[in-house]
């Protein structure tokens, strides 16, 4: 069923109005809340686990409303008086002679006063609360003209066949171009290059620039990571690389630009980065994302890259005579465009020709500290010139090729609606295109996310549906029971009909993926991901048949939380999903007695039914009537000392655990374990480097019954050094990563674990003593999707096959310990694995 974006906005707005009164304050709101997210009944967002930042279209790009001046803002310019931040002399951009964050708003405010071509608004806030600016450059438009542009933009996606035949659209639709700058905080110059372009076009008296803004809208997110810009860090203030977050959208910075992308629907997109020695301009090397309409992308991407290379060559700097274009200049796998985690690659699925641009000369990290200021500023000036030249060249390409770019975006969406196969691309289609560049997908006819008893986790299913909708994937709900591929699906099941405009994105998110180990020798980053396998929900695939059932479009997933009758019965909760964990920690924080049985099932007394009802509503979890089994062990709210990465700390906090970050240095400085109940170790804790006093305090914690959970090679090394479980940890290839199949082991800690997991530098355990139990094992053919080459001597998937991926046991000193060889919290992505971590924590501390 085709539903226009404007109708979907209305449905989303209605969902907000219906559910808003029931909103409650999220746990750990400072770290986890999304100011732009709405409630969704019993599955409404509480941190990233419940809904992963799903933002209804009705609220997208509306953050600046509170700052907007009075008057008609529906045309252009739409000028906002941006709030100005106090001067910060410690802003790292100052040393480079670049624009500190506190100077951006004043510059934009002044330009808005001088020019009716400039519109500035706030489209989100960073982790630390700084404003994220979107600047729009265009000739003035009346409200009616702006509304017409919006209708055409929607028509291109919603009815591309009609758009293709609309002669007025072909003449008058303004080509949208989006520039994203400074997503990595310590890669500064994209912001300054963007500001230079804004000022030039805002004030130019050149007729060509006036003509450009009559036919083009240029959108610029001036700094996508202001916290990192100020601090001089690649990551945002939460420790996340925002340019690895687009398919998961866990961070406010990535959610903001996701919504900009969806609402502006650019033809061309540039992401400004640094520093690669020689300017680097995508398109990338193989493997190419298999779900793209690659023929429509590569012809523009290659020509646009050549144009940007010519532009930097005209700058006159020795350092900018040429560029590296990975498609042309690099070997397969060196700079690929395979995963949808990067901003430009993600943008391709929304109809854009996306490019990463890396300005050449390094000014961050060691160079920032060691080089003279004069040399740093010389380099930054050149980098700023490169950023401005590549932005200008890309805009010029969009103007010169406007008609073909519009036609090809229309064609991208038309193929999706029609369910047509991808096109076979011949050798030489662009210079150098050959067999090594051919990647394609067989799109299924539909995905079904079942309701009822066949759904592994209703809360996980709701989270997944909301996430898909937030990414502009169309989901519908069955109004009746139906049969598909011999299976019965109840009313309320969700359907992702793959005859839709953004089928490539839907498939990239939901499909299992592909093992590409034999295709390329290396990969730039991760090569396997799957929301369909790793997010905890049951997702079925129908290869050839669409459901024959009436459906209605989904703006937000239906409520999922419930309690059983009678009111006087004790309640049971199985830890199947992270939402279940959130419910448990919520109850424990409120003093509710929760007991854990030997099978891991949790029981809440009938006397706490009111608190359980609140948890069910808030987290969307389902309590059942407790059985008459033996009394379990009472749980206490765990306090976790964690030597872990930023993403792992975020997941633990999102689950509702109290977390105290530690490291070798922190322990050596006198950290006390007084009320800590669990120690989690994955990175940053070297047992051998601890002082004698730190080792004494650590050992006292272990002797006092503290539990231990470890992850990966760092955790395995700690286990050995601390003398906990007698196992041999085998480290697989350090460059291996992806989705793997796993099987149940012989233990009872991870009874409800899903059949798939995620690995990044996989580890497995051999030589298990009688006191150690395999909780989970790698399957006989473990790799489902990703890149995991055979090891030269060991370390490949064949060696991991059948070996223990997770083990548990009690050390000789009585310490309950769980060792993970998988990555259950990687980048806050594999959300269906989080309950395993909680199971390990609760078992180790009970």
The catalytic residue positions are 411
Please give the backbone phi and psi of residue 739, each rounded to the nearest 5 degrees, phi first. Answer: -90, 130
Give the whole-angstrom CA distance, residue 370 versus residue 402.
46
Closest CA to 818 of 829, 804, 800: 804
* 201 three-state secondary structure: helix
Find out whether 558 and 492 touch, Cβ atoms under 8 Å: yes
* Rounded distance between C-alpha atoms, residue 109 and residue 783, angstroms: 53
Per-position DSSP letters for 753-817, written without gaps between them: --SEEEEES-EEEES--TTEEEEEEEEEEEEEEEE-PPPSSS-SHHHHTTSEEEEEEE-TTS-EE
Rounded Cα–Cα distance for residues 100 and 94 (Å): 6
| Cβ neighbours of 18 (radius 10 Å) | 14
**HSE of 293 in the Cβ direction (CA atoms, 13 Å)?**
23
**Residue 348, both tokens:** 């391709």
Phi-psi region of 308 (alpha: psi -120 to 50; beta: other; left: phi over 0): alpha
Using DSSP bridges, classify how beta strands 804-810 and 131-137 pair: parallel, antiparallel or unpaired.
Answer: unpaired
Rg of the chain over all Cα atoms, to the nearest angstrom: 27
Q: Quick one: which of 711, 681, 685 has its CA closest to 823?
A: 711
> Where do runs of H (alpha helix) occur along 538-663?
578-589, 609-619, 646-654
What φ, ψ does residue 335 adopt, rounded to 5°?
A: -155, 70
Task: Indicate the pairing of strand 268-274 with strand 353-359.
Answer: parallel
Cβ atoms within 10 Å of 315's Cβ, excluding its own: 15
Secondary-structure breakdown of the chain: helix, strand, coil percentages, each rounded to the nearest 5: 40, 20, 40
Tell me how long the chain is: 846
Encoding tokens for residue 200?
Answer: 């030039």
Please choose, from the candidates 191, 691, 662, the residue with its C-alpha nearest in 3D space to the C-alpha of residue 391: 191
Q: What are phi and psi of 805, to 5 degrees?
A: -95, -25
Alpha carbon separation from 384 to 95, 107, 325, 391 (Å, rounded): 15, 17, 19, 11
Task: Quote the tokens at residue 801.
Answer: 């096959």
**186, 233 in Cβ contact below 8 A?**
yes
| 489 DSSP β-pair partners | 482
């Amino acid at each position: 069923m085709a539903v226009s974006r404007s109708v979907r906005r209305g449905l989303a707005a209605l969902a907000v109005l219906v559910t808003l009164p029931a909103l409650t304050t999220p746990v750990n709101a400072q770290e986890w809340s999304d100011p732009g997210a709405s409630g969704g009944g019993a599955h409404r967002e509480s941190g990233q686990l419940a809904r992963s930042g799903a933002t209804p279209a009705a609220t997208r790009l509306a953050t600046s409303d509170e700052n907007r001046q009075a008057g008609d803002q529906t045309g252009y310019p739409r000028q906002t008086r941006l709030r100005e931040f106090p001067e910060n002399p410690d802003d790292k951009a100052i040393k480079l002679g670049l624009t500190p964050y506190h100077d951006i708003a004043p510059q934009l405010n002044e330009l808005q006063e001088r020019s009716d071509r400039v519109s500035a608004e706030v489209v989100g806030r960073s982790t630390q609360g700084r404003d994220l600016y979107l600047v729009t450059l265009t000739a003035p438009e009346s409200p009616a003209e702006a509304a017409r542009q919006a209708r055409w933009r929607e028509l291109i996606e919603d009815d591309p066949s009609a758009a293709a035949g609309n002669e007025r659209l072909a003449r008058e639709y303004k080509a949208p171009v989006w520039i994203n700058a400074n997503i990595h905080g310590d890669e500064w110059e994209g912001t300054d290059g963007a500001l230079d372009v804004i000022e030039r076009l805002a004030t130019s008296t050149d007729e060509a620039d006036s003509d450009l803004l009559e036919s083009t809208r240029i959108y610029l997110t001036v700094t996508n990571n202001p916290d990192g810009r100020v601090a001089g860090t690649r990551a945002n203030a939460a420790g996340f690389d925002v340019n690895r977050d687009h398919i998961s959208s866990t961070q406010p910075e990535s959610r903001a630009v996701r919504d900009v992308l969806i609402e502006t629907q650019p033809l061309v997109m540039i992401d400004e980065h640094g520093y690669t020695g020689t300017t680097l301009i995508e398109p990338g090397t193989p493997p190419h994302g298999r779900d793209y309409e690659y023929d429509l992308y590569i012809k523009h991407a290659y020509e646009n890259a050549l144009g940007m290379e010519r532009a930097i060559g005209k700058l006159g700097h020795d350092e900018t005579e040429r560029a590296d274009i990975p498609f042309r200049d690099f070997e397969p796998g060196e700079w690929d465009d395979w995963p949808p985690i990067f901003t430009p690659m993600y943008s391709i699925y929304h109809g854009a020709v996306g490019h990463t641009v890396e300005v050449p000369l390094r000014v961050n990290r060691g160079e920032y500290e060691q080089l003279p200021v004069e040399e740093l500023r010389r380099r930054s000036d050149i980098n700023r010139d490169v950023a401005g030249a590549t932005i200008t060249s890309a805009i010029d390409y969009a103007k010169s090729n406007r008609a073909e770019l519009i036609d090809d975006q229309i064609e991208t969406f038309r193929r999706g609606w029609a369910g047509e196969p991808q096109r076979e691309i011949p050798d030489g289609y662009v210079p150098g295109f050959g067999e090594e560049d051919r990647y394609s997908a067989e799109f299924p006819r539909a995905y079904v996310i079942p309701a009822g008893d066949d759904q592994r986790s209703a809360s996980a299913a709701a989270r997944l549906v909301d996430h898909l909708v937030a990414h502009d994937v169309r989901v519908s709900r069955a109004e009746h029971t139906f049969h598909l591929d011999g299976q019965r699906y109840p009313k309320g099941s969700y359907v992702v009909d793959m005859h839709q405009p953004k089928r490539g994105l839907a498939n990239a998110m939901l499909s299992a993926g592909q093992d590409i180990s034999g295709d390329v020798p290396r990969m730039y980053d991760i090569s396997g991901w799957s929301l369909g396998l790793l997010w905890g929900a049951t997702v079925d695939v129908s290869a050839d048949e669409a459901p024959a059932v009436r459906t209605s479009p989904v703006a937000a997933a239906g409520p999922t939380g419930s309690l059983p009758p009678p009111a006087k019965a004790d309640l049971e909760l199985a830890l199947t999903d992270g939402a279940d964990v959130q419910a448990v920690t919520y109850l424990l924080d409120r003093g509710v007695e929760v007991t854990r049985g030997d099978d891991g099932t949790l029981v809440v007394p009938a006397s706490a039914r009111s608190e359980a009802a609140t948890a069910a509503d808030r987290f969307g979890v389902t309590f059942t009537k407790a059985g008459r089994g033996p009394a379990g062990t009472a749980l206490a709210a765990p306090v976790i000392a964690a030597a872990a990465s930023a993403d792992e700390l975020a997941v633990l906090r999102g689950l509702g655990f109290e977390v105290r970050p530690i490291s070798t240095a922190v322990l050596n400085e006198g950290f006390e374990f007084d009320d800590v109940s669990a120690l989690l170790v994955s990175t940053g804790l070297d047992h051998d480097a601890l002082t004698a006093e730190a080792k004494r305090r650590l050992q006292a914690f272990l002797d006092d019954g503290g539990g231990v959970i470890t992850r990966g090679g760092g955790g395995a090394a700690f286990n050995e050094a601390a003398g906990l479980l007698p196992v041999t940890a085998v480290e697989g290839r350090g460059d291996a990563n992806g989705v793997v199949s796993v099987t149940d082991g012989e233990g009872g800690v991870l009874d409800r674990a899903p059949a798939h997991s995620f690995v990044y530098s996989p580890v497995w355990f051999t030589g298990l003593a009688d006191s150690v139990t395999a909780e989970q094992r790698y399957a006989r053919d473990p790799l489902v999707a990703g890149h995991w080459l055979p090891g030269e001597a060991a370390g490949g998937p064949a060696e991991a096959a059948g070996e223990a991926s997770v083990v548990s046991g009690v050390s000789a000193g009585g310490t309950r310990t769980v060792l993970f060889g998988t990555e259950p919290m990687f980048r806050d992505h594999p959300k269906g694995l989080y309950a395993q971590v909680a199971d390990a924590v609760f078992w180790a501390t009970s």
